[in-house]
Amino acid sequence: MKEISGYLDITPGDFKEVYLLAFRHARERLLRRVTAREIMTREVVRVQVDTPLQEAAELLAQRAISGAPVVDDEGRVVGVISEKDFLRGLAPGSSSFMGVVADCLEEGNCQALALRERKVADLMSSPAITVIEETPVLEIARVFKEKDINRAPVLDSQGRLAGIVSRGDLLGLTACPAGGAP
């Protein structure tokens, strides 16, 4: 407050309200200005459409990620393979891991071995929901919420895979440090 010359006659409650409004305004401005290019992961784990599902599952597990873009022979993004896709393949009516477990335990109807012979193209979500490098973070967050997705491949000006943005990337940008602003 020493930077403000003069005197502000406001209550602590008024100050808190002004601060919160200013913080929200600054955060929204930041989210409109920052783009996918600035927050994306450039080293993207990807799989080919003809990759066996077992190999894709092993790769996702080794890298501790929940999904990856699927590319064709020219490197174009044609889909995304994720935990949700595997869950859908294991128990078509279940939408969660625990739903799959419950189905397997109740009916003894685990489909995991049946997936062994299938390819990524058989389970992937397609077409991929993508963004371009210039997409503002605020728009990416809207797309994630609207489409109920956790990641979006980022395409360059030629339509090739340039990176990937995840919910974690968005959270890292918007999260406040402990004891920081709301």
Supply the DSSP string of 81-131, one letter for each residue.
EEHHHHHHHH-TT--SHHHHHHHHHHH----HHHHTT-BHHHH-BSS---E
pLDDT of residue 63 exceeding 90, the answer is: yes
Count of C-beta atoms within a 10 Å radius of residue 137: 22
Compute, in degrees rounded to 10, the torsion defined by CA atoms 133, 29, 16, 172.
10
To which residue do tokens 């873009």 refer? Answer: 69
pLDDT-derived band of residue 9, with 50, 70 and 90 as boundaries? confident
Mean pLDDT of the chain: 85
Higher pLDDT, 2 or 104: 104
What domains does the chain contain, in order, with CATH numbers? 35-174 (3.10.580.10)
pLDDT at 141 > cutoff 50: yes
Q: Say what the pTM is.
A: 0.75
